[in-house]
């Protein structure tokens, strides 16, 4: 079978297509897409055109991942009237984090361009354009006009589309009406470990078993003829481990032999009706199932104006097989009873209370391990118990704030050179006195050090001061 002449795309872009884009963009118009398609067809009459929105199969991202090559080309100038090859905005992107010394970077936002796309020993001419039709068009249309053999273009679109629709060291996040890939959230999740989550041990095991068993139990659900879906709610005062538990679960699910993706709903605020947002969330979840669908701060996401849409999406006609929903809230009382107290929507509730005395000791030991390499901070076991004694009714977040503030205060004091020098001299004199008293006897030295009062530890003094401040804030909040 002879290979069609157009299996490899034209090597030159047409100036007439550029002309159409720029003329159409500067005048009243109905459809940029239609105008461009017509112009491309006129300039390349023998070559099939396939229009692919980049939201469904992003050719540039696919190439950037190493699966294809892009070659910049210039337009032909047969008519001696050269319109611009492209239209790009240069924009500044601030660093994702100020730490690390990055000053940000420049990027380009492309509105119109053409390039040669090489994939699997084939080449395609591609015109790319943003269609800005109307004042409030949302979302903007970003189309790729791919010229080449129809079957070859379809194979490319499937490959690029499959890649674009899959996360790669990212998490799907729903924000302002659309799904986006978030690499920073994925990196944060990778730092979250169940070993660092301090909960009642029975509750932790129950929680882990509930989630893991769900994704291992499709056959059992099918055999019982019940929908393979489940939901739980984490509730309780803020700062007691709901978020870290969600992240630790996300990591453990990602590390399974068959990774379970997480879909994270950040907010429903958008330029489109709320019913669309709810439908977009559950459509994506059904597409990705089996998956872990997270609604953090559920009471602020499912408000009165979206409640009926939400309930219909959860219990409606469309099947939600393989979807495990997790919602967290600091205010269970603000949730509609139809959500909080209705099995088949959210079947289980896990309460995250303020930590007990033993859990507070355990959390202090977590900080003790974190500071074990710090030679400037003495942190004996006694401090863990003493801090736990005076932090009753504190959340983990409040205890963390006490440690952070105390350590910052110590660093600030260390920065005062004269005070540091004096402190170091006092430490040397104290050590010398201990040696003299003990006369080289190791047991006596150890006894003398053991008798050191808590007030002699700079960490304890600063912790106690910060805890007193936080206690005052708690009283004022009441």
pLDDT tens-digit series, residues 25-38 = 776 666 788 889 99
pLDDT of 276 higher than 90: no
- What's the whole-number mean pLDDT along residues 110-135? 87
Select from 167, 181, 166, 161 the least CA-distant residue to 50: 161
Is the pLDDT at 278 greater than 50? The verdict is: yes
DSSP letters for 402-418: HHHHHHHHHHHHHT-HH
Cα–Cα dist 262/260, whole Å: 7
Residue 419's pLDDT is what? 47
Higher pLDDT, 203 or 342: 203
> How high is the pLDDT of residue 129?
93
Closest CA to 232 of 249, 252, 253, 207: 207
Coil, helix or strand at residue 275? helix
Helices and strands (H and E) in the chain: how many: 18, 13
State the pTM of this model: 0.78
- pLDDT at res. 417: 43
In whole angstroms, give the CA distance from residue 16 to residue 114.
12
H or E element at residue 274: helix 274-288
Distance between CA 169 and CA 113 in Å, rounded?
29
d(CA 66, CA 141): 26
Per-residue pLDDT band for 1 (boundaries 50, 70, 90) equals very low
How high is the mean pLDDT of the chain?
85
CA 437 – CA 441 distance, rounded (Å)? 9
More confident residue, 315 or 51: 51
Report the candidate in 150, 118, 120, 123 with the shortest Cα–Cα distance to residue 10: 123
| Maximum CA extent, the chain | 101
Structure tokens at 400: 């963390």
Q: What is the pLDDT of residues 174-207, one digit of tens each?
A: 987 889 999 999 999 999 999 889 999 999 999 9
Contact 299, 340 (CB under 8 A): no
- Rounded Cα distance between 25 and 28, Å, is 8
pLDDT digits (tens, 9 = 90+) for 305-336: 888 889 889 887 778 999 999 999 999 998 88
**Range of lowest pLDDT (107-111, 155-159, 329-333, 423-427):** 423-427
CB atoms within 10 A of CB 285: 25
| pLDDT for 382 beyond 90 | yes
């Amino acid at each position: 079978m002879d290979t069609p002449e157009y299996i490899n795309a034209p090597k030159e872009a047409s100036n007439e297509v550029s002309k159409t884009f720029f003329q159409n963009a500067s005048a009243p118009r109905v459809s940029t897409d239609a105008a461009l398609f017509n112009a491309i067809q006129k300039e390349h009459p023998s070559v099939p055109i396939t229009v692919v929105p980049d939201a469904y199969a992003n050719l540039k991202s696919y190439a950037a991942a190493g699966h294809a090559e892009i070659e910049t080309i210039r337009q032909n100038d047969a008519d001696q009237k050269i319109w611009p090859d492209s239209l790009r905005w240069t924009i500044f992107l601030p660093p994702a984090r100020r730490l690390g010394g990055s000053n940000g970077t420049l990027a380009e936002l492309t509105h119109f361009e053409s390039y040669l796309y090489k994939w699997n020993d084939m080449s395609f001419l591609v015109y790319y354009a943003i269609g800005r039709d109307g004042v409030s068009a949302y979302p903007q249309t970003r189309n790729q006009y791919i010229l080449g053999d129809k079957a070859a273009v379809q194979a490319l679109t499937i490959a690029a589309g499959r890649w674009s629709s899959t996360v790669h060291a990212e998490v799907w996040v729903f924000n302002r009406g659309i799904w986006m890939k978030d690499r920073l959230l994925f990196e944060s999740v990778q730092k979250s470990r169940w070993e660092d989550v301090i909960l009642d041990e029975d509750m932790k095991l129950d929680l882990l078993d509930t989630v893991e068993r769900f994704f291992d139990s499709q056959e059992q659900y099918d055999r019982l003829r019940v929908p393979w879906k489940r939901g739980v709610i984490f509730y309780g005062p803020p700062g007691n481990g709901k978020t870290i538990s969600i992240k630790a679960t996300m990591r453990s699910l990602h590390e399974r032999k068959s990774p379970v993706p997480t879909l994270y709903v950040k907010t429903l605020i958008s330029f489109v009706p709320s019913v669309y947002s709810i439908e977009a969330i559950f459509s994506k979840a059904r597409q990705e199932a089996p998956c872990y669908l997270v609604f953090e701060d559920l009471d602020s996401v499912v408000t009165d104006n979206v409640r009926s849409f939400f309930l219909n999406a959860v219990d409606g006609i469309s099947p939600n097989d393989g979807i495990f929903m997790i919602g967290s809230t600091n205010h269970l009382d603000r949730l509609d009873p139809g959500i909080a107290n209705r099995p088949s929507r959210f079947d289980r509730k896990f309460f995250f209370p303020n930590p007990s005395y033993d859990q507070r000791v355990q959390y202090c030991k977590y900080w003790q391990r974190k500071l074990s390499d710090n030679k400037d901070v003495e942190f004996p076991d006694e401090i863990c118990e003493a801090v736990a004694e005076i932090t009753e009714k504190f959340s983990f977040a409040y205890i963390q704030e006490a440690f952070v503030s105390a350590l910052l205060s110590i660093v600030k004091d260390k920065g005062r050179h004269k005070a540091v020098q004096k402190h170091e001299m006092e430490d040397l004199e104290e050590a010398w006195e201990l040696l003299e008293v003990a006369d080289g006897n190791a047991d006596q030295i150890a006894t003398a050090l053991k008798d050191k009062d808590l007030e002699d530890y700079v960490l304890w003094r600063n912790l106690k001061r910060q805890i007193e401040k936080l206690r005052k804030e708690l009283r004022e909040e009441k």
